[in-house]
Structure 1
Amino acid sequence: MGRNIKTNFSYPRGNFPRLCLIGNSNVGKSSLTKLLLSHPKWYKGKVGKTAGSTVRLTIINDPKLNYHVIDLPGFGRMIKLSRSSEEFIQNQILKYLRLDRNNIFLTLLVIAVDRLQDELEKWYFKNENTIPLSIEFIQYFVKNEIPCLIILNKIDKLNKFQREDIKKTFFNVLSDFNIEIDNSKSKQSVLDVIECSTKTLQGIKEIKQNIKEISSHLQLENYDPRSELLNLPPINAKKKGKKGNQTTKSKNN
């Protein structure tokens, strides 16, 4: 039986560009996060081999990047936690995405490619009344106009023929749900599907190039200055009247 946890779910402060990594538990989000930073020392979270190693929202303020990197806890079964704790964390993730939607300039939906076939079989091919969680995430991002890169991680665990087979199946399912891959970088789109391995580093350079290109167009003058963020309330703080409202430059949305 998993344990119950009591944790204060941390939220970032103020308005600032954010890159978010999201996905099921134990798909390699934290390992990928470390590889996307200018130096691994900036990552203070935990990288584990079991589902549920990351149970808090990890906010990385890498001074060499013009955005925050947000490593979100995983969805799905967390071996170390009780069902109630899992539900609490997952509700907090959805709340965060809702509260910070206007600041999230890009999401990386990390999928463990070696588990993707099972997910599609169980929640789509064998049951037409359910939708795979990965597809639900993509639909959410498209609906809320949050650009998304789909990252198929752990490709080192499959051979060439297995990778091609699951990719074909995955693209067919995307088509069934009218989800298109649009490399034009339009606001309401899935930008690309990238295969990667945090173990062999395959695909990491391509992911970083995509992030660099997209983040280079951020208009930082429309956000709160980085130097003032710690003096601002977290984004989940209750709104106060004008007298108690601490705001600097806010992003106009």
Structure 2
Amino acid sequence: MEIVLVGRSNVGKSSIIRQLTGKKVVVGKRPGVTRRITRYQVGKMDIVDMPGFGFMSRVPRFLQEKIKTEIVRYLENNRKEIVLAMEVVDARSFSEIAERWQKRGQIPVDVEMFSFLNELNLSPIVVINKIDLIPNTYRDVVLDDICDKLGLPPPWRQWVDVLAPVSAKTGEGIPELKKIIKRRIHALGLGRYLGWLK
């Protein structure tokens, strides 16, 4: 049984895993630290940290494409083992990057991944990390915009089982994310695998 985390480089996937599990997870300050698929065993469950996709400075384009292909192939080949997928996005940069792609007439890679996870019937949780860097008065606007770009009609608060604003740095929102994970896993009748999630 696996929980898989995907997302762009440097959005904080490894830091989220550390917050959820308490395990020592290697995290980096620059994009592309996680270059290979990494597994962390927690009880009878595996947490799978996928390499970051998208732009990485000092990483050749062909390697960036290879990483993205590996992620897609892994998700397709291991679908039966995956009980939950989480796509981690950066609250500060998601909308700006998505708009840049849309202006070029392209589907943003984060949006494409969200659609792909849904096509696999993984009903992903979108973990919106670094929310501590968004002023409180502006958060609903940012979250509504992320919602809209993912094809989910705003306001974001109607998607509280899909969207989880958190800060891996401060721990803000992590208890709520854990509750979403527990609800999802219990709904699958797999509550016995959740002993690690305190």
Q: TM-score, normalised on structure 2?
A: 0.85
Q: Which has the higher helix share?
A: 2
Instruction: Determine whether 1:50 maps to 2:26.
Output: no
Change (3 A) 1:110 1:92: same
**What CA deviation, in whole Å up to 9, does each residue of 1:192-216 have, x standing for no partner?**
1111001111110111122123223
Q: Is the 8 A contact 1:30 1:47 kept in 2?
A: yes
**What CA deviation, in whole Å up to 9, does each residue of 1:106-132 have, x standing for no partner?**
1111000100121122122x24x3111
Change (3 A) 1:168 1:181: closer
Question: Shift of residue 29 of structure 1?
Answer: 0.3
Q: Is the 8 A contact 2:3 2:85 kept in 1?
A: yes
CA distance in 1, matches of 2:14, 2:152: 31
SS of equivalent residue, structure 1 residue 162: helix
Instruction: Tell me which of 12, 15, 18 is aligned to 1:34.
Output: 18
SS of equivalent residue, structure 2 residue 27: coil
Q: Is the 8 A contact 2:114 2:150 kept in 1?
A: no
Change (3 A) 1:146 1:24: same
CA distance in 2, matches of 1:204, 1:176: 22
**What CA deviation, in whole Å up to 9, does each residue of 1:79-128 have, x standing for no partner?**
2422222222221111101101121111111000100121122122x24x
User: In the alignment, which residue of structure 1 is the partner of 2:173?
Assistant: 203
CA distance in 1, matches of 2:18, 2:165: 17
User: In the alignment, which residue of structure 1 is the partner of 2:55?
Assistant: 77
CA distance in 1, matches of 2:189, 2:38: 24
Question: Shift of residue 191 of structure 1?
Answer: 4.0
Aligned residues: 188
Question: Shift of residue 172 of structure 1?
Answer: 2.6
* Superposition map of 1:81-92 within 5 A: 81-92=59-70
Instruction: Tell me which of 125, 128, 133 is aligned to 1:152.
Output: 128
* Superposition map of 1:31-180 within 5 A: 31-37=15-21, 39-41=22-24, 43=25, 46-63=26-43, 66-124=44-102, 126-127=103-104, 129-175=105-151
Structure 2: any 5+ residue segments left out of the alignment?
191-198
Amino acid at match of 1:201: G
Instruction: Determine whether 1:25 maps to 2:9.
Output: yes
CA distance in 1, matches of 2:137, 2:158: 25
Change (3 A) 1:182 1:158: closer
RMSD of aligned C-alpha atoms?
2.3
Structure 1: any 5+ residue segments left out of the alignment?
1-16, 184-189, 221-253
**What CA deviation, in whole Å up to 9, does each residue of 1:186-244 have, x standing for no partner?**
xxxx9411110011111101111221232235556xxxxxxxxxxxxxxxxxxxxxxxx
Question: Shift of residue 134 of structure 1?
Answer: 1.6
User: In the alignment, which residue of structure 1 is the partner of 2:194?
Assistant: none
Percent of aligned pairs with the same residue? 31
